[in-house]
Chain A
């Protein structure tokens, strides 16, 4: 009997050891991301297009990405962080106080800041789709003279002499100095996790809480009238289309997709924007020309222009004010109030402790 007990104890200890023991020859794996902060494909979403294999999720890298996202160290005047134009409270669009966001020295940009949610699913970036990789996308605002106006080399110099970033990067990437690859991969670790899939509509799509009344009627009408382009659960087909806006363009002519392809057939085409959080991410369209959502719905198909998309032909796309109201009612269900307050996506002052990221010189021109 006693030997039996001993055997049971030995077996128990071995089991424990088997679980706990780290085999010396093995590479120690980073801890898997915690479910509440990790990247989860929502059950009703398609497969993401971001190449996670080239940048496996890692909590330390994610935290570094979050630090960088909220840190104006990326800009020339230490005033503009990614979050200045991509505010969590606005589902990572701008506050909507200006037609165009303002960069260093208060300079306005020339295109409307999009809400950067669900970027892991996006095959291209920017209104003209000129960028095809999320990691490399971050270079665009850093280099843009009216956004962060900073050189990559200078950003890396600043990060490498920073008492906090250097050791943190070393811990996460196991390299002696911070290079552009580490910085861009860290930022992507954060941006891929900005997922918007917990709106009222998502409860409907996942079958937990169906829409009713005007919202449901709005959805049915939306599917009939809008979903050819604003398709699927991401509410975009990621194609480039001209909806006739250039006929009343108030700003310097923007050739849109033609700037990328050089094709006249792509003139003034812009990417179909996702409509997730559309009710809280005005102003609307690539140039932010319309600030009211109902107006934005109506604007489709109202103007004619060469190269206009047949989907918004004024004979096929004609909405009564009642229909606009219904579609509007549905669109409000796409607002994801949960992600707006998701603490994992918010700035963490503790990330930077014992340092502060408040600029020494007040940045009066920001908003």
Chain B
């Protein structure tokens, strides 16, 4: 360390040797974390009307998933008459199906496994896709070659046949988490490629070079410097991947390929189709209700994704945060 003449501001021998007199209180720290991780994202999402609607719809689904199985009785056949029409009685608000099962209860009960499937699949896809793409893009060389080859293999294997085969071979037995992960196998390849190309441009930025000259190891550079830049793109992909997984899952259930426990939306579609709902007006509601359930969550995710990328944009964050008062109006440009 060099000896420097005493400066006026502090009574230590150089600014290098200042240590703290103040302790940041735990309460302050928690407040700051709350501000960063809870208040600001919510505020950003709430400020956009489309995201507001999307978030509200998603919230309804989450409530159905959490409270439904607790508050409603399990579904049983013959609970009511056949093909009771929707909006007729309080006992069966959405009517019943061909064997007298309560459609409302079926819809609500299947929300939980479908949502679990959706989240587990989406998160797995994003995690593997981003991780593989970032590592391949940043490291280059043989790492890039290996990872890219694996990615290409997964892109090129036909998705649906692979899932169908694996679902028969592997002991999945209707566990929604595992089904979600299974479906994500066909989705992560494309994302990994896109992330890799994003990282290739980011690699040459000055701030990455600055981190290298500080001596940061590669993993920290990827994690701290590069990943935040990929987050907006990952968030948008999260929403669209989640939709794809729901549609894929519903489709595969419709085709009767995946194993299940209680009937879920896809299975309901299948059964109603088998029972001729398309040309029997009294059975039409049996088909439409799971359709609406699936479309509803798809729409909510699309609307929400409009805003999710802004959550990671530092300019938008700065405006919504309470922690940093933005004094200059120029930031609004």
Is the A/B pair a real complex? no
Q: Which residues of B contact A (CB under 8 A)?
A: none
Q: Which residues of A contact B (CB under 8 A)?
A: none
